[in-house]
C-alpha cells in the first residue's frame, strides 16, 4: 500500500495495524473516523508531507521517497526523539513484560528462553546506548536491527521444550514490531546525513 494525502487513514490502519505505534508518536489515537490523511494532518497541525513519508517508509521497506526526511530535518529529528521515548517507555517494557511472563510460565528444562532473554538484554542495552541516548545528532543503529533479526531467528529455529504458545507469539510479534520500527528509525537517520 502506498499512502497519499488523499488516503483514508483508517484504510492504512486496517491494512497495516502495526502502524498504530507510529501514529501515537504524532498524537493520533484510534477512533480516527473516515477522514483522509490530509484532513487529519490539517486538523492536528501535522506536516502532511512528512507524515505521509513516515507512514510509507514504515509500511514499505523499499519506499523511495525518504528525501522528505532530509527536507524536513527539524521534524525528522523531533520524530526520532519521540521514537526514542516511545521505545523506552512502551515498546521495550512491553517486550520485557511478555518475555518475563513467558519465562515464568515455562515448564521446559531444556528451553533456550533464558539464553534468548539474556540476548534481548544485550539488544536492550544497545538500544539504550544508541537510540535512547539521542542527542542533536541521531545515528543509525544497524547492529540493533541485525541483532533483532538474530533473535527472531532464534525463536523460529532454536526454541525447544514446552512453553506457552500464546505468550511466545506475543513476545515474537513484539520483537518483530520493534525490528520493523528500528528499521524505520535507521532509514530516517540515514536520510538526515
- Inform me whether the pLDDT recorded for 152 exceeds 90: yes
What span, in angstroms and rounded, lies between the C-alpha atoms of 91 and 15?
21
pLDDT at residue number 13: 96
Q: Is the pTM of this model over 0.95?
A: no
Query: Which tens digit of pLDDT belongs to each residue from 107-128?
Result: 766 678 889 999 999 999 999 8
Provide Rg for the chain, Cα atoms. Answer: 18
> Mean of the pLDDT values across residues 130-134?
71
- CB–CB of 145/183 below 8 Å? yes
What span, in angstroms and rounded, lies between the C-alpha atoms of 175 and 171?
6
pLDDT at residue number 70: 82
> Mean of the pLDDT values across residues 11-27?
94
Phi, psi (degrees; rounded to nearest 5) at 23 = -60, -35
What span, in angstroms and rounded, lies between the C-alpha atoms of 64 and 128?
29
Q: CB count, 10 Å around CB of 193? A: 7
pLDDT at residue number 118: 93
Indicate the pLDDT class of residue 136, thresholds 50, 70 and 90. Answer: low
> Mean of the pLDDT values across residues 154-175?
89
138 grid coordinates = 541521531
What span, in angstroms and rounded, lies between the C-alpha atoms of 26 and 4?
17
pLDDT at residue number 71: 85
Query: Which tens digit of pLDDT belongs to each residue from 80-106?
Result: 989 988 999 999 999 999 999 998 888
b/e 63-80 (16+ beta carbons within 10 angstroms → b): beebebbeebeebbbebb
Amino acid at each position: 500500500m502506498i499512502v497519499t494525502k488523499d488516503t483514508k487513514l483508517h484504510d492504512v490502519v486496517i491494512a497495516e495495524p502495526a502502524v498504530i505505534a507510529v501514529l501515537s508518536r504524532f498524537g493520533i489515537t484510534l477512533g480516527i473516523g473516515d477522514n483522509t490523511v490530509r484532513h487529519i494532518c490539517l486538523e492536528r497541525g501535522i506536516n502532511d508531507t512528512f507524515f505521509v513519508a513516515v507512514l510509507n517508509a514504515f509500511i514499505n521497506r523499499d519506499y523511495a521517497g525518504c528525501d522528505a526526511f532530509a527536507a524536513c530535518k527539524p521534524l525528522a529529528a523531533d520524530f526520532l526523539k519521540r521514537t526514542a521515548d516511545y521505545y523506552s517507555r512502551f515498546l521495550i517494557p512491553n517486550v520485557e513484560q511478555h518475555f518475563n511472563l513467558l519465562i515464568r510460565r515455562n515448564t521446559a528444562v531444556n528451553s533456550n528462553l533464558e539464553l534468548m532473554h539474556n540476548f534481548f538484554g544485550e539488544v536492550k542495552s544497545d538500544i539504550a546506548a544508541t537510540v535512547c541516548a539521542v542527542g542533536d545528532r541521531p545515528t543509525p543503529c544497524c547492529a540493533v536491527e541485525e541483532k533483532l533479526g538474530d533473535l527472531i531467528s532464534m525463536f523460529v529455529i532454536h526454541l525447544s521444550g514446552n512453553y506457552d504458545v500464546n505468550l511466545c507469539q506475543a513476545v515474537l510479534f513484539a520483537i518483530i514490531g520493534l525490528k520493523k520500527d528500528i528499521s524505520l528509525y535507521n532509514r530516517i537517520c540515514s536520510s538526515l546525513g
